[in-house]
Amino acid sequence: MTLNQMISEIKPADQEIVDRARERTSRLVMPRRALGELHLIGERICGIQRTLEPSVKNKAVLVMAADHGVAANSVSAYPQEVTGEMVRTFVLGGAGINVLARQAGARVLVVDMGVIPEVSDLPVEEAVLAAQSQVENALLIRKIAKGTSDFTLGPAMTREQAEQSLVTGYEVASTLFEEGVELLGAGDMGIGNTSSSSAIGAAVTGHPVERITGRGTGVDDEGFARKCRAIQKGLDINRPDPKDALDVLGKVGGFEIGGIAGAVLAAARFKRPVVIDGLISTAGALLAYVMCPTVADYMFAGHRSVEQGHQLMLEHMGLRPILDLGMRLGEGTGAALAMHVIEAGVRVFREVITFEEAGVTEEAQ
């Protein structure tokens, strides 16, 4: 399926269903909208899934992983080898996302979109098996290349590779939806990817590099200045077109960021909610938004990262974060935590009875 075909099949959430859901909420046995944002979440899920009996019990988190050529500019506090090492940790079940996904009752599927080392010595499950089996943490090898090129010297990837990363993310997520996943979280792993994400954010939103760039893995003042210089150089050399998501992705992005963008498009196509995470996940969502603004109907912002550019990208898409816990780990951790709140909103909508059903007198008119 081509990108144009994917996008052409995306329709807005059903506002009529949202209105009907809101009418039911107004009759729940409590003061009107007493649970605040939980009501809005439940109603949005109704509109997304086109039903007044929404469900988000079947959950999964996609962790897209890839290496970045820009890491050669010492933009991270960690060496590039950490990407492959963390992929192994995800599959072994010992990382932050594994803990929080287990708590949320979500499976974790790690996708090697372009990690430099070979990680195929670990068990590999096809996405369909990951959706059906009892394997908690599965690994898919969908390597486009062994890392991107250094975008301070030229484009990070070819336009063909950019499209391949989007299509790959779309296909992986589509398989999960076809096998019954009702709520998807989008996570990431890749040393150097906050630089790529900040470059994407600056290119699309127009905010200055110094305003949209954060400290990522925790670089010091000198490292932060070096990171900003690298991002600005990449933008100056490559001149990405903010109206062309593939151009932005190809020039300053990453394979895993493209994969996340594709997964967001798939969620909208399959009428499923997707929870985006922090800066990197949101950069992928931002690219999907450039291609098709309607995808915002299907996105929930899991949390507000301490990365300063994250909020700017969320505002560009009109999204409000569910949580604000001072987090900056990535991996999909904020998305996994927000799944609890999203499920709570759905359960409140479905399980709290109305005044009529309870036989309780409503407020005086």
The mean pLDDT value of the chain amounts to 93
Q: Is the pLDDT of residue 301 over 50?
A: yes
Please, what's the b/e burial string for 261-271 (b: 16 or more CB within 10 A of its CB; e: otherwise)?
bbbbbbbbbbb
State the burial class of residue 249 (Cβ atoms within 10 Å of its Cβ: 0-12, 13-18, 19+): buried
Catalytic residue of the set 163, 182, 256, 331: 331
* Least confident window among 9-18, 112-121, 328-337: 112-121
What's the pLDDT tens digit per position in 229-265? 999 999 999 999 999 999 999 999 999 999 999 999 9
Annotate 78-99 with DSSP letters as a single string.
S-TTHHHHHHHHHHHT-SHHHH
**Residue 364 located in a structural domain:** no
C-alpha to C-alpha distance for 263 and 284, rounded to whole angstroms: 9
Range of the domain at 107: 59-341
**Residue 346 located in a structural domain:** no
Instruction: Please indicate whether residue 343 is annotated as part of the active site.
Output: no
141 token code pair:
């090898």
Q: Is the pLDDT of residue 129 over 80?
A: no
C-alpha to C-alpha distance for 307 and 250, rounded to whole angstroms: 23
What CATH number does residue 239 fall under? 3.40.50.10210
Instruction: Provide the whole-model pTM.
Output: 0.94
Tell me the residue length of the chain: 365
Residues 324 and 201 in one domain: yes
C-alpha to C-alpha distance for 142 and 113, rounded to whole angstroms: 5
Residues 309 and 266 in one domain: yes
**Residue 365 located in a structural domain:** no
The predicted pLDDT at position 77 comes to: 86
Q: Is 217 helix (H, G, I), strand (E, B) or coil?
A: coil
Residues 138 and 183 in one domain: yes
Residues 27 and 155 in one domain: no
Average pLDDT over residues 281-288: 98
Residues 317 and 188 in one domain: yes
Predicted confidence band of residue 363 (pLDDT cuts 50, 70, 90): low
CA 199 and chain centroid, separation: 17
Residues 133 and 193 in one domain: yes
Residues 27 and 74 in one domain: no
- Where residue 244 falls (left for φ over 0; alpha for ψ -120 to 50; beta otherwise) is beta
Average pLDDT over residues 67-88: 93
What's the pLDDT tens digit per position in 6-57? 899 999 999 999 999 999 999 999 999 999 999 999 999 999 999 999 999 9
What CATH number does residue 20 fall under? 1.10.1610.10
